[in-house]
Amino acid sequence: MKNLLFIISTVFLSNLLTAQTILPTSFDTDTFLTVANSPYLVTNNPTINSGVTVQFEKGCTIMFNQGKYFNVSGTLKLIGEENDSITLITNSGADSWGPITTNSGTLIFNYTVLQNPRKIIAASHGTININNSRISAVIGTIGEDGIAVHYADSVIITNSILESDENGGKIDAIDADGINYGNISNNIIRHWPDDGVDIGTSSHNVVINNNIITDTDFGISVGESSTVYAERNVIYNCYGGIQSHDGATTTADHNTIYISVRSLQPHHGTSSNSGGTLIVSNTIMNGATYKDFTLQSNSTLTMSYCLSNTDTLPGTANIFATALFVDTANFDLHLTSNSPAIDAGDPNYSGSFSGLYTDIGAYEYDSVSSIITNTTNNKNKFTVYPNPATNNLHIMFNTKKQENAEIIDITGRTQKKLIIDNLISNIDISDLKSGIYFIKIGVETIKFIKE
């Protein structure tokens, strides 16, 4: 998985032997804190006031006394580099710190190492952007979720490792409620007592893609009328794979769920009338110790082109078979050359695949060790990039030909109609809201994300 492993700066060890710079209790003006004055010590709970940006230079170390944290109403930037990260740790004598708290503020972390926070982030409203970072959290009590975000405008967590200890209180790695846009992609999430990713309270435009989630309660749990798209996730050694409950709608495509008590649950445990909707396609479910799915009277479960070796699945073109993974002892869940999942997926699937038809599961056969994402096979006549995109989306064709194109939102409504006649065209998408969209040209459709 790209950009997950990076070296903690050698500055870290030398800084521990130097004098500490104590941070003030309040930041009232924009401030850039240099590595020359590192390590920095948090003895109180510094407040970054509204409209103020505080940025730490790459290579900085920030040390916290017991239970101390940042309170962010403005913007906190911790922007390191691959070989020169920013490190947040406890001071001598402390066993934990945190959480970083924000109310309508902005947190931007890149190549940041967070060691021993009790809670990582407690956010209300605002914007959270965490990339290429590693978080090792200590266990807290029930409700002290790792990254807890409520009613945020945007939550982006990518290319990061979030790990804890599964033997503890009921704590999610990521718990997001009422968010307007979420992108949780290309992460490793492991060893959490409760769910890996828990989305609830009418969250929308949330995509959970290309993650490896292990040793949690449910790998992905979606509730309370939220809408989530989950694709190419590998979930193994968890109590459950994917849960959708209390009016939530979860579309799950090309996932691999291995060794769980139950793979799919369109309801919330034993709670009555807690049904939700699960639409599952091109997904492997192997090794369930109880059942691949359970239902309540108000649950809705649709399965197509899925593979199970536990239950005979209802629906279209599902297969009862063992997937045949490369190395289950070491959880290498790529497909072997004789896997029945190869070329057994939905023949109308128009995303990335390498054979005659798409393969079932998160990994296409002959894929490299990282999960395939945002690529197009040689059958497609066009590709799009970058994905996710912010203001401009580029469309590249295999041959030059005038084409009619549509951009469609996740509800099926057309947002733009275009005529494209160049091999590479630039499309202005700055007027689109953040979320999941599809660009359709002829009979082919490719999904993209607008940040």
Residue 75 has pLDDT above 70, yes or no: yes
pLDDT tens for residues 123-162? 999 999 999 999 999 988 888 999 999 999 999 999 999 9
pLDDT tens for residues 255-305? 999 999 999 999 999 999 999 999 999 999 999 999 999 999 999 999 999
pLDDT of residue 433: 87
pLDDT of residue 1: 47
pLDDT tens for residues 417-433? 888 776 667 889 999 98
Torsion angle in degrees (nearest 10) through CA of 255, 257, 258, 260: 170
pLDDT of residue 424: 64
Amino acid letter at 79?
I
Nearest to residue 104, comparing CAs of 145, 148, 153, 55? 153
Range scoring the smallest mean pLDDT among 3-12, 329-338, 364-373: 3-12
What confidence category does residue 377 fall into, taking pLDDT thresholds of 50, 70 and 90?
very low
Range scoring the smallest mean pLDDT among 45-54, 130-139, 234-243: 130-139
Chain-centroid distance, C-alpha 162 = 11
Domain boundaries, the chain: 382-450
Residue 8 has pLDDT above 70, yes or no: no
Q: Name the CATH code of domain 382-450 (choices 3.40.1410.10, 2.40.40.20, 2.60.40.10, 3.40.50.2000).
A: 2.60.40.10
pLDDT of residue 400: 55
Q: How far apart are CA 377 and CA 225, in angstroms?
A: 35
Range scoring the smallest mean pLDDT among 41-45, 156-160, 284-288, 349-353: 349-353
Residue 397 has pLDDT above 80, yes or no: no
What is the token pair recorded at 217?
């309660």
Element (H, E) at 11: helix 11-15
Give the long-range contacts of residues 57-60, CB within 8 A, separation 24 or more. 57/32, 57/33, 58/9, 58/84, 58/85, 58/86, 58/111, 59/9, 59/11, 59/35, 59/84, 59/85, 59/86, 60/33, 60/34, 60/35, 60/86, 60/87
pLDDT of residue 329: 87
pLDDT of residue 313: 97
Strands 212-214 and 234-236: parallel
Q: How far apart are CA 139 and CA 149, in angstroms?
A: 18
Given a contact cutoff of 8 angstroms between Cβ atoms, the answer to whether 154 and 433 are in contact is: no
pLDDT of residue 321: 97
What is the token pair recorded at 289?
């110790």
Given a contact cutoff of 8 angstroms between Cβ atoms, the answer to whether 260 and 288 are in contact is: yes
**How many residues are present in the chain?**
451
Q: 35 in helix, strand or coil? A: helix
pLDDT tens for residues 177-227? 999 999 999 999 999 999 999 999 999 999 999 999 999 999 999 999 999
- Please report, for residues 97, 326, 374, the alpha-carbon distance to residue 447 in angstroms, rounded to integers and kept in the order given: 40, 29, 9
Phi, psi (5° rounding) for residue 12? -55, -50
Residue 64 has pLDDT above 80, yes or no: yes
Q: Count each helix (H run) and each strand (E run) in the chain, helices first.
A: 1, 47
